[in-house]
Amino acid sequence: MLSHVIVISLLCTLSYHTTLQSTNVNVYDDYRKFLSTKTPYSFIGNFNDTEVKFSGCEAEKIWAIFRHGTRTAGIRIALKMKEKLTMIQKLLLDNHHKSDYLKEPVLSELRKWKVSFNESENKLLTHEGEEELLLLGERYLNRFPKLLNEHYNNATYKFRFTGTQRTEESAKNFAVGLFGRKESLYVWYPEPLHRDPILRFYKLCDKWKVEVKKNPATMREVELFREADALKGGVKQFSEELKLDQPLTVADCYEIYVACAFETAWAPTEEPSPWCKILPLNLFKAYEYMEDMEYYYKDGYGYQVNHDQACVALKDMVEHLLNPDDPTAVFYFTHSGTLLKLVSHLGLYKDKEPLRHNTSNWNKRKWRTSHIDAFGTNLAFIRYSCGDDGEKILTMHQERPVILPGCPTSSPLCPLDVFLDNYADSLSCDFDTICSLADPKTEL
């Protein structure tokens, strides 16, 4: 009973928008803050690309890792959304005369809406995704003009992507932003590995696959939240406002949320999708929190093995930054699962209490995938030489300097010896030991 009371309190704190009084796009701006991992990078990036300078210091090397840009939906999601949304569209249009919730021009937009999810385009980089990475390349060049020469040389630059179209095209568009369209054609990319031990280390981690990915307990908090009276009550209230013959379910409203998120990501500067104008803001917040919990337990602080295994990426970064024979610039292109595990390995965005279905201070959480894992998410480490002050490391997330736990807070630059001491265990980690199963007979 107590958990229900807390969850009810959680949902009740969300403002419930029950009418749409205006056609002004700004009316709907708030929903853009709650789109979780489908948030377009243009909503959260740092677009001030002036040169990054620190008095007495020179940038010497950079290692950066990127999530691919905005992509199309996967086949399974596309088929499910196609089936559900056409049904919901018909239900809303057939019943709209019973309520004044849906008004023009939203009704007109809903009538014109057609399924835009093509199952033949399975998780492919979109035009918006190309633009996200191209502009990222331009901004990185502008921030570090002395470090990043506009002319490509394979001894100076190292590029690498996973075996997917979306990361390959992300890398190539980033290169266009960095070198220009003509010179980017000379960039050499190694053949992607089927199971990359750095870019997708979790694919090689047996313990993670068994104890997290295939473990029903991983989704327990999400399921408890989905079944909570408060969330169901919010959906019920929404249905009652619409006066529907057939009430919407929690799953129905989630499909609306996903449709809004994808259609926003594909065209972030255009008129919002009608689905974004229909779903009340309290449900946007609720579904974002539901997704945050999923990624928290699947990729973040929910399980130790999630972030422990990311030591291999941190190790690769340090080796590149310290080895004088390695390229000056290393750019990797990968996926959400890699970035979130690495971010949590670094100790960033860690809440004092685990995310739970009945968390009372959920609204003040640091773990917000809408901000820390949007399409195009990037994490960069830059090594500086600062004369008598020695070597230092700048860490940037989403193109903004971040101060890592254990580093001095007086400057974004962390002394190299402090950095290495903080992550000493990571640099000597044994991936096979971390990822070995207690019972080797356990099925994968």
Q: How many CA atoms lie within 13 A of 307 on its CB side?
A: 20
Q: Where are the beta strands (DSSP E) in 233-369?
A: 329-334
Are 206 and 437 in contact by the 8 Å Cβ rule? The answer is yes
Q: Which H or E run includes 160?
A: strand 157-161
CA quadruple 42, 46, 51, 52: dihedral sign: negative
Owner of token pair 């948030």: 39
SS3 assignment, position 62: strand
pLDDT at 382: 98
Q: Interior CA angle at 205 toward 200 and 209, to 5°?
A: 100
Give the pairing of strands 329-334 and 58-67. parallel
Q: For residue 357, count CB atoms less than 10 angstroms from its CB and return exposed for 0-12, middle for 13-18, buried for 19 or more.
A: buried
pLDDT at 359: 81
pLDDT at 439: 58
Cα–Cα distance, 178 to 133 (Å, whole number): 10
Are 332 and 66 in contact by the 8 Å Cβ rule? The answer is yes
Residues counted in the chain: 444
Residue environment code for 309-343, b if the CB has 16+ CB neighbours within 10 A, otherwise e = bbbbbbbbbbebbeeeeebbbbbbbbbbbbbbbbb
Mean pLDDT per 10-residue segment, the chain (444 residues): 43 38 45 97 97 97 98 89 92 94 94 83 95 98 93 94 98 97 96 96 98 98 93 94 93 96 95 95 95 98 98 98 97 98 98 91 90 98 97 98 97 98 96 86 46
pLDDT at 26: 35
Cα–Cα distance, 303 to 297 (Å, whole number): 6
Structure tokens, 255: 């499909």
Q: Interior CA angle at 373 toward 367 and 374, to 5°?
A: 130
C-alpha closest to that of 178 among 197, 159, 203:
159
